[in-house]
Amino acid sequence: MNVVKNAIERGALDWIPAPEDLARARDRFRVLMARRARRPLWLLLLLAGPGILVMLGENDGPSMLSYATTGATYGIGFFVPFILLTFLMAFVVQEATVRIGIATHRGHAELIEQRFGKLWGTFALVDLLVSNLLTLVTEFIAIRGGAAYFGIPGWAAAVGGIVLVVAVLTSGRYFTWERSVMLLAAANLLFVPAALFAHPDGSALVRALATWGPIPSGAGVAFLTLVLANVGATVTPWMIFFQQSAVVDKGLTKADLPQGRLDTALGAAIAAVVAVAAVVATAPLFAHHVNASSFSGGTDFASALRPYLGSTGATLFALGMLEAGLVAAMTISTSSSYATGEVLGTAHTLNRPLSKGGTFYVSSLLSVVLAAAVVLIPQAPLIPITLTVNVLATLLMAPALLFVLLLANDKEIMGDLANRRGANLAGGAVIIGISVLGALYGIVTAFPQLLHG
């Protein structure tokens, strides 16, 4: 690197690499050395990040509240295997996203604009920004709720969340941002010991997994809403935009595809364990007939769980909710910045410093500030907002998945990384499944008497 800098200063090079290119080159040099030294574990540690972050980032505030509501309302029977299925769906989608990013070296919004035109690129951007803003509101609901359990005022939690998100975002390096968020994301595992404090029945868990517990009796619109909320807690549009852009910003190449897939699979597996742990941790509320419908956030759940998990278990649950909101606020706001920069043709990389980032950093700052302000509105119906956002994410997912499927089959840009028959069948099944659920929800909502006919 010093040689390049000296050459630039002497005027020996007509092409001057951008700062983000130099930063990315340093990261790629480490990868090259690990590959030459045949150190697979070190290579995976260097290349892991986008997949783990996108999956743990999706274990966000609304997702964990959806899982908590699920456990408190229906226990573990039907939903434990169903949640595992949704993470398999997420892996199918995100694996295709990794291949698209590696093959094209373009972010998702940028690629949609290039392949389908300015109109569709703008549509994708606006759709993402609106859904991301709604989701960010729910992340600050989780931050506020988790902090309230420890007596921290709502305004202080919101300000603290904004400061932390911006501080990590403006680190000036993708690698630094990624490792900082991954370190914080590890706290998502706090839900696992919280679940152990619930003293779960292992045989009941095995039975649920082996037999797929029946649909609860009396299931209606509320049950279907939770089904959609759990899908929306796992597969959402921002994940596609974030991981594809992160793959590009990280500089992954075709040689890195096996590690990219493993990174995504590990993220899905860890996130699935945590999601199930949240259901298990709140199942005692179902067993003791505690009505969770009036709960307004993570504080209510943690307080209600104290008699069954003990003080330590309830504290771990509250901390997990706080972490879930913070990590997701970081990843979701970054996905908005990536897409905005890609469509507007401005900076869209974390490898550029704040002074040269312009729109990239401003869009993130505005989104988190606005979301935090909405959460501070007195008497806002927080749990209904959270579940509604997850349902909305599910309903918006089908068109987003269609773009992924079209791009993944575009051999002109994908080459030999294009979808094969198995990937198309899996992707098509995900689209059909989500579309059917969305249509069913619409029908049942409009004609609730059908459930009792």
* CATH code of the domain in which 84 resides: 1.10.4160.10
Could you tell me if residue 379 is inside a domain? Answer: yes
pTM: predicted TM-score of the whole model, two decimal places: 0.85
CB 135 within 8 Å of CB 332: yes
pLDDT at 15 (0 to 100)? 45
Q: If you search the block for the tokens 């609730």, which residue do you land on?
A: 448
Cα 282 to Cα 198, 268, 426, distances in angstroms? 8, 21, 32
Judged by DSSP in three states, 350 sits in: coil
- Measure the CA–CA gap between 122 and 132, rounded to whole angstroms: 15
Could you tell me if residue 356 is inside a domain? Answer: yes
- 197 burial class (0-12, 13-18, 19+ CB within 10 angstroms)? buried
Number of domains in the chain: 1
Q: Please give the backbone phi and psi of residue 117, each rounded to the nearest 5 degrees, phi first.
A: 105, 165
Q: Which helix (H) or strand (E) holds 342?
A: helix 298-344
Could you tell me if residue 8 is inside a domain? Answer: no
Q: Please give the backbone phi and psi of residue 297, each rounded to the nearest 5 degrees, phi first.
A: 165, -170
Q: If you search the block for the tokens 């509240």, which residue do you land on?
A: 65
Q: Which of 245, 225, 241 is nearest to 233 (CA)?
A: 225
H helices within 48-117, ranges in order? 50-58, 61-74, 79-104, 108-116
Q: Please give the backbone phi and psi of residue 350, each rounded to the nearest 5 degrees, phi first.
A: -85, -5
Q: Which residues contact 83 (CB under 8 A, 6 or more apart)?
A: 67, 230, 234, 272, 275, 276, 279
CB 118 within 8 Å of CB 268: no
Longest distance between any two alpha carbons in the chain, whole Å: 83
- 437 burial class (0-12, 13-18, 19+ CB within 10 angstroms)? buried
pLDDT at 20 (0 to 100)? 63
Could you tell me if residue 14 is inside a domain? Answer: no
Radius of gyration of the chain (CA): 22
Could you tell me if residue 22 is inside a domain? Answer: no
pLDDT at 109 (0 to 100)? 87
Domain limits at 96? 30-452
Could you tell me if residue 97 is inside a domain? Answer: yes
- Measure the CA–CA gap between 406 and 411, rounded to whole angstroms: 10
* Tokens of residue 12, six digits: 């020996």
| C-alpha atoms less than 13 angstroms from C-alpha of 66 in its C-beta half-sphere | 34
For the chain, 453 residues long, give each residue's pLDDT as a single digit of tens.
555 455 444 444 444 455 666 666 777 778 788 888 888 888 888 888 899 999 998 888 878 888 988 888 888 888 889 999 999 999 999 999 999 999 999 888 889 988 888 888 888 888 888 888 888 888 888 888 888 888 888 889 889 888 888 888 887 678 888 888 888 888 899 999 999 999 888 888 888 888 887 777 666 677 777 887 788 778 888 889 889 988 988 888 898 999 999 999 999 999 999 999 999 999 999 888 888 777 766 678 888 899 999 999 999 999 998 888 888 888 888 888 888 888 877 777 777 777 676 777 888 888 888 888 887 777 666 666 766 776 676 677 777 888 899 999 999 999 999 999 998 999 888 888 888 877 776 666 666 555 555
pLDDT at 11 (0 to 100)? 46
Could you tell me if residue 152 is inside a domain? Answer: yes
Could you tell me if residue 352 is inside a domain? Answer: yes
Q: Is the Cα dihedral 420, 422, 425, 429 positive or negative? A: negative
DSSP string, 398-429: HHHHHHHHHHHT-HHHHGGGS--HHHHHHHHH
pLDDT at 92 (0 to 100)? 92
CB 76 within 8 Å of CB 284: no
